[in-house]
Amino acid sequence: MNIKIFLIEKKAKRFFLSHRKTSYIIGLFFICCYLYVDFVTLSNTCHKIDNLEYKEGVVSYWDHTGGEFNDATLKIKNDTNVYITQRYDGWLCFQHNGKKGETVAFYTVKDEVKNEKEGIPYYGLCEKGNPRTSFWLFFDVLFPCYKSILIWWALGAIGIILFNFQTIRDHCILPLSIVVLGINLLMFIIASIS
């Protein structure tokens, strides 16, 4: 079985090495996937940042599901709304954990309402009087914007790593692939830990 896979991989590489134009077009497609992801996430983030509403209150409930990537739920005293966010909870996490009775500040996006079961997304949770910097707030808003285009993100990553790095040996496409992949991964990692 491994021999068949190896032979198929070898034939595919030979085909793409002998058809350079086809290889370049495919390589550029994978780069364009990541450029599209960057454009959509950044434009959605900027739109949300422009429509942020500042809120504050006393925490009556804050909890998150278990695991590294999980959902956090926030309830504020004298507020009937439930606020939610998605967060990374690994060893490197810069997000604030709400504590019952603590006065916090956070942001929501005007008119951004999920269904009643889920709640309203919140961003930039912090102790009142200790606001998050605009850098971390930007990346906190950026992270959920990846959800709608995760397929394009995965397609670009898989394509660049398995095709551009393995097949294309061009002096233009390969460095461009490295730069695009590096910037995109860096943005995604910072957004996930913010």
Residue 27: inside a domain, yes or no? no
Residues contacting residue 68 through CB under 8 Å, at least 6 positions apart? 88, 89, 90
Backbone angles phi, psi at 28, to 5 degrees: -65, -35
CA distance 149 to 34: 10
State how far the alpha carbon of 149 is from the alpha carbons of 68, 77, 115, 155, in Å.
21, 35, 21, 10
130 and 168 co-located in one domain:
no
Would the pLDDT of 5 be above 90?
no
- Mean pLDDT of the 55-81 span: 88
Lowest mean pLDDT among 114-123, 153-162, 169-178: 114-123
pLDDT value at 4 more than 90 = no
pTM of the model: 0.84
pLDDT digits (tens, 9 = 90+) for 92-122: 778 888 889 999 999 999 877 765 667 899 9
Overall number of domains in the chain: 2
Shared domain for 165 and 185, answered yes or no, is yes
User: What average pLDDT does this structure show over 64-73?
Assistant: 81
Residue 112 resides in a domain: yes
Inside any domain, residue 86: yes
Q: Name the pLDDT band for 171 (thresholds 50, 70, 90).
A: confident
Give residue for tokens 């942001």: 107
The CA distance from 165 to 61, in Å, is: 48
Which residue in 191, 184, 179, 165 sits closest to 36, CA to CA? 184
For residues 72 and 104, state if they share a domain: yes
Residues 137 and 155 in one domain: no
Same structural domain, 175 and 100 = no
Over residues 163-170, mean pLDDT: 78
Are residues 160 and 84 part of one domain?
no
Question: How far apart are the two ends of the chain, measured CA to CA in Å?
Answer: 44
Residue 153 sits in the same domain as residue 140: no
* pLDDT given for residue 25 in this prediction: 87
Average pLDDT, the chain: 86
Q: Give the residue numbers spanning the domain of 169.
A: 149-194
Residue 152 has phi, psi (to 5 degrees) of -65, -35
**Residue in the block written with tokens 């780069």:** 31
Decide if 137 is inside a domain. yes
